[in-house]
Every structure is written in structure tokens, then in C-alpha cells.
Chains A and B, each alone.
Chain A
Amino acid sequence: MAIFLVFAIIFVTSNFTLKAESSLSELQSQYQRPSSIPYLETNKHSKAREELGKHLFFDPRLSGSKVMSCATCHNPSFSWADGLPKGVGHGHLKLGRKTPTILNLAWTEKLMWDGRFNQLEGQVLGPIGSEAEMNMSLQGPEGLAEVVKGIKGYKNMFKKAYPGEEITPELIAKAVAVYERGIVSEEAPFDHWLKGDQKAISQEAKDGFMLFNDKAKCASCHSGWRFTDDSFHDIGVKDEDIGRGKFLKLTSQQHAFKTSSLRNIDQRGPYMHNGSEKTLEDVVEFYNKGGNAKRESLSEMIKPLNLSNNEKKSLVAFLHTLTSNDKPVTLPILPR
């Protein structure tokens, strides 16, 4: 009888580890990086386009004040954001929301915290023309296209990048979008672990990965290699801002914001669309409580998690493994 029991236990436990291993590799396979970057059929990649787009992205002459470029807020030194709770726009006025990163956006269709723009190509003229941001007119003699045409070096660059096409605000947007599509975070310790390097991340982080997918259910929204499915939810951040609810009158979209990518996330605090959570520890505590605001629109997927202190630490340790050691970005010499 005793022997039988022992056998039974061995059988059950070995079966269990086998099962755990296969489900781990199954889980890991859901986070594989893609092998190429998607470009639009109507705006394909070329070296000349990417170079041109980079120059425009870093050029403050695209703004009304002539001192603000895309990179003022989407600063590569701060993981392509600004490290502030809320962005700072034209005339140093505070914007309503935090500046999001522009890492890894080639894979996303709906952009902004509330999803109001489609595709990178369709977003660029938003901040340039916005009075609160770059405050540049898109038409007229002082407008965007005329300013760019007036810079000799750009004329040549456009000729190479888009031969025969007239320089218009839309073409400028296309060039910037080609550059943005190429802004991709490189492999992080987490990816090395997926590839089989067992020592690439700690046991604590591996436990955190399991929690992320299982008990803490983070992967219901932060799924795939970018750690977001680009979905829109009210996760219970306390704020007057109703996000996507402003133009989608559905209950689920009141206070709904886009699920953030968690790649290189430890470089982008403070967190959430209003910068209300200072550290990753704070974020995990926020989810553990089930958010800060109980409203009708709160996602059914946000509930108190009952995580132990060790479990919280493991989750944070896991989040740190998503940061890649990317090459510093070189600044372009702008044409005069």
C-alpha cells in the first residue's frame, strides 16, 4: 500500500512538471519577436526615406516657435518619451496627458491614449498642427510645406526619397512615419531567456513571468511580444479625463485608455496616462488593489489580486527583464 502510494506520488508529480514545462514553452511561444517591420504598401521603406524622416523628426523648424521638434517630447534619451507625468507643449504649457513612447509602433493601427488617429502616417500632422503642441500652420506662406521647401538640403533629400512627388504636409508626414516605423527596441534579457539562455533572467523574474500570465492576469491585456494587444480599457485610474469615452459613447469606453507596451518600461516612469503612479512597485500595488476608481466603466478584468509581497516583487523583477540595451541614437546634422 505504502509503495503504491509512493509510486502514485512520483507519477503525479513527474506528470505535473512535464505539464508545467510544456505550458511554459507554449507561453513563451506567444512572446516571440517578429522577424520584420511592417510598412504600408503606399509608403514603403527605403534608406533615403528613413534618413529624411529622421532629420524631420529632430528638426525644430517644423514648429511655430522654431524650438520644438517631435524629439523634444519623444526624446530617445528617455525611451522616446519625456520622463514627465504630463507633456509640456507650446509656451511651456502643460498638456492633458503623459507623452507615450513611440517605440515599436509599426505594429499598431490606432494611435494615441484614446486611439483617435490611424496609422503613424496619419498621426504626424496632429502634433505639428496642434496649437498646444508644435503650433505650426499647415497652410500658407509660413506653413509647414513652404518652410521645408525653403531649406535647400531638404529639396534634395525629398528628390531622392520620393522622386517626382511634390513636397506637401502629407508627404512630410509619410517620411516621418518611415523613420518612426524603424524605431524598434532590441532584444532584452527576456528574449535571450526565450531563446534558451536559462541564466539570462533570475528565478524571481521567471516566477514573475508565470504570475504575469496566470494569477495576476496581466497578459489578458499586455499580451504578445510588445506586451500589449493595443486594447482600450478603464483600469480604474482616478481622473476627470474620460479618454476614448469622449467620442465612443459606450459604457466600456468611458475612462478607457490604450494598453501600454511594457517593452523598456522601467525607463518610462512615472506611469499611466496622467503619470499618477511613480514606480513599477506602485503600479503593481495599484493592480493588486483592483485600481483606484470603482466606476460602471471599470473593466471586468480588473479585480483585487491578493498577491503576496514576494509575488509583487517577482512581478516587478520580471518587468525589469523587458529592457533592452539599445545603441544610443545619433543626432542628424540638419540641412540649412
Chain B
Amino acid sequence: MDVLKENVMKMTIISKCCLLNMILAAPLVFATEHEIIQLDKKFNVQEITIKPGDSIKFKNKEKDITHNVFSLGPKNAFELKSQLPGQESKVEFKEPGTTEVECAIHQTMKLKVTVKK
């Protein structure tokens, strides 16, 4: 019982600290995480505009189909490993500019990411 109480207290302290941190840091960092869904061999949007330092979480919501998201740039080139149904991966976009994101497997899957201050 006591252990539990102690834990709860610790958690409230931690979360208070976090909140404080977030409030203090917000004007400095302000990084947002965006979500892009892969379903029916399509991205749920074809274009997205984000801020430098933001990240995109690519989520495979298919029943059977594997995807393999990558980008040759021109800015922020990256490659993810094959994603099985249910898997997700996060990519940070640091540099301002555009990034043409594709799926190596499905040629119809295209997403244009614009990174702008």
C-alpha cells in the first residue's frame, strides 16, 4: 500500500515537472508530430506542410500489405525499413525545403512534404 502511494506521489511530481518543462520550453522548440496513414496502397494525404524540426509518424494501417517509405530529397532524404501492417516509424524533418516521399513498393504512393518556418 505504502509503496503504491509513494509511486503515485512520484508520478505526480514527475508530471508536474514535465508540465513546467513544456511550458518553459514551448516557445523554443515547438516541435509537432504529424501522422500519415498508409491504407489501400495510398497515403491519406498527398501534401503536407510542416515546420523545421517537426516529425512525421508513418503508420501502416493495412490488413496484409507491406510498405517501404523513403525519400531521395531534394531535402531531408531518408529511408525506413519495410513496414508490416500495424507498424509505425517516425522521421524528423530538419531542413527547410521540399521532400518527395514515395513508397519503394507501390509507385502510386506519393507525398510531398514542405518544410517551412
Contacts and interface: CB of A to CB of B under 8 A. Distances in A.
B68 A301 contact: no
Nearest to A248: B104
B64 A230 contact: no
Contacts of B70: 250
Interface in A201-222: 217, 220
Given A229-B108, A231-B105, A232-B107, A301 B66 contact: yes
Consensus secondary structure, chain B interface: loop
Interface in B52-96: 64-66, 68, 70, 79, 81-82, 84
Given A217-B64, A250-B79, A301-B66, A233 B105 contact: yes
Interface residues of A, number: 20
B105 A252 contact: yes
A299 B66 CA distance: 8
A299 B79 CA distance: 17
Contacts of A301: 64-66
Interface residues of B, number: 15
Nearest to B85: A300
Consensus secondary structure, chain A interface: loop
B112 interface: no
Contacts of A326: none
A289 to B, nearest CB: 19
Nearest to B109: A231
Interface in A44-76: none
Contact of B64 (A109, A220, A244): A220
A250 B70 CA distance: 9
Contact of A229 (B41, B64, B84): B41
Contacts of B64: 217, 220, 301
A292 interface: no
A115 B81 contact: no
A206 to B, nearest CB: 22
B62 to A, nearest CB: 9
A250 B68 contact: yes
B101 to A, nearest CB: 13
B84 A300 contact: yes
Contact of A253 (B84, B104, B108): B104
Interface string A76-120: 000000000000000000000000000000000110000100000
Nearest to B67: A252
Contacts of A217: 64
Interface of A: 109-110, 115, 217, 220, 229-233, 244, 248, 250-253, 256, 299-301
23 contacts: A109-B107, A110-B107, A220-B64, A230-B106, A230-B108, A231-B41, A231-B105, A231-B107, A232-B107, A248-B104, A250-B70, A251-B81, A252-B66, A252-B82, A253-B68, A256-B104, A256-B105, A299-B66, A300-B66, A300-B84, A301-B64, A301-B65, A301-B66
Given A109-B107, A231-B105, A232-B104, 12 more contacts: A110-B107, A229-B106, A231-B106, A232-B107, A250-B70, A250-B104, A251-B81, A251-B82, A252-B66, A253-B68, A299-B66, A300-B84
Interface of B: 41, 64-66, 68, 70, 79, 81-82, 84, 104-108
